[in-house]
Chains A and B, each alone.
Chain A
Amino acid sequence: MEHLRSPANILTLIVVGLCAVVPFLAPALGEPFYVIVFARIMIWAIAAVSLNLIMGYGGMISFGHAVYLGIGGYTIGILAFHGITSAWIQWPAAIGACALISLIFGAISLRTKGVYFIMITLALAQMIFFLSVSAERYGSDDGLNILSRSDFGVSFFDLNDKLTMYYTIFAVLLASVFISWKLVHSRFGVVMRAAKSNDTRVQAVGVSTYRYRLIAFVIAGVMCGIAGLLQANFERFVSPDMMNWPRSGELIFMVVLGGMSTLFGPVTGAFVFLMLSEILSTWTIHWHIIFGPFLVLVVLFARGGIHGLLTRRSDKGVGP
């Protein structure tokens, strides 16, 4: 935040500003569909921000992060299926479920490092995915329709109201970025970043890096679960597909595309990723054939992502 007028910050302002005004701008321009697109982008952005917290700042490459979208979403869906629609039960239950599962998964997978960690997070996430596929009662492959959104029991805050729903998502997005910022710049965040660059040294100082990693893993899981409960409420539908492993891959890509270890990078990444897939998919149904190589090229030539590219350029102009 030092260079307030750096290109990366200006881009952030544009993206966040657009998100803020789209519910009014899009209908005025005759494109009301974009309100839905932006709501979806922001939900993914929350998930990407949460992944960035452990991957960007903590060096933990979780290849199963989308599972928490699914757990958060399915908690809402299953409770609604059984007639429990009160948000005061649904939301704490979703958060609790994500906290519990991420605690268990984190405790197992954080015992390992590097490529083992990647594969274990992937496998554990697929386990939940297959569980949801085999849950015939809750729709299996076809998913589960949610008849009514979470009910807060008060008239002035009703998620069935389009604007309330939209700005709830917007507020959660801003809050998740704010929490990341707070965490990263706290003592906790310093330990996490130090452990990323040299784990042995941090342990030698007498800090249990495992505990810090595990806590970060749980925070990220809960944050992603909140994105999931928002997604379930917004789409009024959950399906195993929302936590299948390509979703986890896409989340990683959003973070890297926007810029790992930057505060707003994941938000920009989600925005560019989803807008691009939206646009490409209107050109051709075979848009993956362009998108796949694009992904490879980003990895090969755009290290640091969009925010990295912008920052580097501004550094040249402004000096160190």
Chain B
Amino acid sequence: MDYVLLTEQFLNGFQLGIILFLMAAGLTLVFGIMDLVNLAHGSMFMIGAFVGGTITLVTGSFIVGVVLMIPAMLIIGIIVEMTTLRTLYPRDHLDHVLATFGLILFFNEATRLVWGPEGLVVPLPDFLDGTVALGAITYPVYRIVIIAVGLLVALGLYILVSRTRIGMLIRAGASNRTMAGALGVNIPLLFSIVFGIGAVLAGLAGLIITPITAAQIGMGEDVLILAFVVIVIGGIGSIRGAFIASIVTGVIDTMGRSFLDVFLLLFLPENAAESAGPALSSMMIYILMAAILFFRPQGLFPPKGAG
């Protein structure tokens, strides 16, 4: 086995896990607190990439793009929450799915109208465009930056939710919305803020991946489905569960894609391994999810007080 490649792929998987976490954190917060199934979260990922990418191209600075994307996504998120999602809270999950599915169609088409069908290529700034030696391997600086940013955001979220006043309100709203409201918490405002935070996190994920993949219409949808897998594995409503499940999912998915056919060669003939490898590796995280749910239908880390 090639250990350099192994480490490299592990880091790539970790980085995918970080992106998934940024998506899943917002999704799981929104679901845990507002009981809302939000498919349009993938659209926030895409809009963050396009808006931040445009700011980057106009100002010529990726940092400015990231910084200005944050208030932009906060505003867009809050507008979406106030105009559409707010009316959905008393409805059932089926209505959530349908209405947010409609929002996806709208956002995808609106993006196509504004930015055209080709998407947006955002160059990596020079100071991030290099490699760094980590022991025996050389690894792109930018991917390390992604991992670092994700870990910082995870830490920040942890502090926000568990140590601050707004985090306390969020937890109170999650465990008993009616009681929190009765004690004077402005629940509608809290919901708007939480949704705004979720939109910022999704937008950040979309924007930081853009220099690697370019911004494309519908880019959020595959990530959204992976994020669903993540929060189902981690337990809906749990940030900690989302973090662990994201990393596990990212690593397993990436490692599976690179090494499963080599692994299958150990006990399968060559042509069988070569055809089964890609097929099986694309299914692996779903099999993992099915296995976990079979033993723990509530996910690995169901939040305390939920259910």
A interface residues (Cβ-Cβ under 8 A, vs B): 55, 61, 63, 108, 111-112, 114-116, 118-120, 122-124, 126-127, 130-131, 133-137, 245-246, 249, 252-253, 256, 286-289, 291-296, 298-300
Q: A246 to chain B: which residues have CB within 8 Å?
A: 101
Please report the C-alpha to C-alpha distance between residue A53 and residue B287 in the assembled complex, in whole angstroms. 27
Cβ-based interface call for B293 (8 A): yes
Residues of B close to A123: CB separation below 8 A? 225, 228-229, 232, 286, 289
How far apart are A188's CB and chain B's nearest CB, in angstroms?
23
> Which residues of chain A are within 8 angstroms of B107 by Cβ–Cβ distance?
292
Q: B residues within 8 A CB of A256? A: 94, 98
Closest chain B CB from A196 CB (angstroms): 12
Contacts of B228 in A (CB 8 A): 119, 122-123
**Distance between Cα atoms of A153 and B101 in the complex (Å):** 44
- Contact B225 A292, beta carbon cutoff 8 Å: no
Let me know if B290 is at the binding interface, CB within 8 A: yes
Which residues of B76-98 are within 8 A (CB) of A? 84, 87-88, 91, 93-95, 97-98
Asked whether B130 is an interface residue with its Cβ less than 8 Å from the other chain, the reply is no
B102 beta carbon closer than 8 Å to chain A: yes
Q: Which of B87, B94, B108, B221 contacts A252 (CB 8 A)?
A: B94
Complexed CA–CA distance, A104 and B37 (Å) = 25
Of the candidates A118, A124, A133, A299, which one forms a contact with B102 in the assembled complex, judged by CB atoms under 8 Å apart? A299
Whether A245 and B225, one on each chain, are in contact in the complex, defined by CB atoms closer than 8 angstroms, is yes
Chain B proximity of A9: nearest CB distance (Å): 25
Q: Mark B190-217, 1 if CB is under 8 A from A, else 0.
A: 0000000000000000000000000000
- Contact between chains at B98 and A286 (CB < 8 Å): no
Among the listed A55, A126, A286, which residue makes an inter-chain contact with B112, where contact means beta carbons less than 8 Å apart? A286
Listed stretches B135-143, B173-181, B274-282; interface member? B274-282
**Closest chain B residue to A293, Cβ basis:** B106
Apart from A126-B286, A134-B278, A296-B99, what are 18 other A-B pairs with CB-CB below 8 Å? A55-B94, A108-B293, A111-B297, A112-B297, A114-B93, A115-B31, A116-B236, A116-B299, A119-B232, A120-B289, A246-B101, A249-B39, A249-B97, A249-B98, A252-B101, A293-B106, A296-B103, A300-B88
Question: How many interface residues does chain B have, given as a range?
Answer: 35 or more
What residues of chain A lie closer than 8 Å to B155, measured between beta carbons?
Answer: none
From DSSP, what is the main secondary structure of chain A's interface residues?
A: helix
Instruction: Give the shortest distance, in Å, between B264 (CB) and chain A (any CB).
Output: 14
Q: How far is the CB of B218 from chain A (nearest CB, A)?
A: 9
**B99:A61 contact, CB within 8 angstroms:** no
Contact between chains at A292 and B279 (CB < 8 Å): no
By a CB distance below 8 angstroms, the chain A residues around B99 are 295-296, 299-300
Tell whether B113 is near chain A: CB-to-CB under 8 Å. Answer: yes
Beyond A116-B232, A130-B282, A296-B102, is A289–B37 a contact (Cβ under 8 Å)? no
A245: chain B residues within 8 A (beta carbon): 221, 225
Q: Which residue of B lies closest to A294 (CB)?
A: B102
Residues of chain B within 8 A (CB-CB) of A120 are: 232, 289-290, 293
CA distance A19 to B13 in the complex (A): 52
Q: At the interface, yes or no: B68 with Cβ under 8 Å from chain A?
A: no
Q: Which residues of B contact A118 (CB under 8 A)?
A: 37, 93, 97
The answer to whether A295 and B101 touch across the interface, beta carbons within 8 angstroms, is yes
In the complex, the answer to whether A286 meets B113 with C-beta atoms within 8 Å is yes
Whether the pair A63, B97 counts as a contact (CB closer than 8 A) is yes
Q: Known A135-B279, A295-B99, A300-B87; judge A111-B293 contact (CB<8 A).
A: yes
* Residue B110 is within 8 A (CB to CB) of chain A in the complex: yes
Complex CA gap A236/B88 in Å reads 41
Q: How far is the CB of A150 from chain B (nearest CB, A)?
A: 26
- Closest B residue to A107 by beta carbon equals B294
Query: Is B109 an interface position by the 8 A CB rule?
Result: yes
Q: Which of B95, B97, B109, B289 has the most CB of A within 10 A?
A: B97
In the complex, what distance in Å separates the CA atom of A249 from the CA atom of B279?
25
**20 A-B pairs (CB sep. < 8 Å):** A108-B290, A116-B236, A123-B228, A127-B287, A130-B283, A131-B283, A134-B278, A134-B279, A135-B279, A249-B97, A249-B98, A249-B101, A252-B101, A253-B98, A288-B108, A292-B102, A292-B104, A295-B102, A295-B105, A296-B106
Determine if B102 and A293 form an interchain contact, defined as CB atoms under 8 angstroms apart.
yes
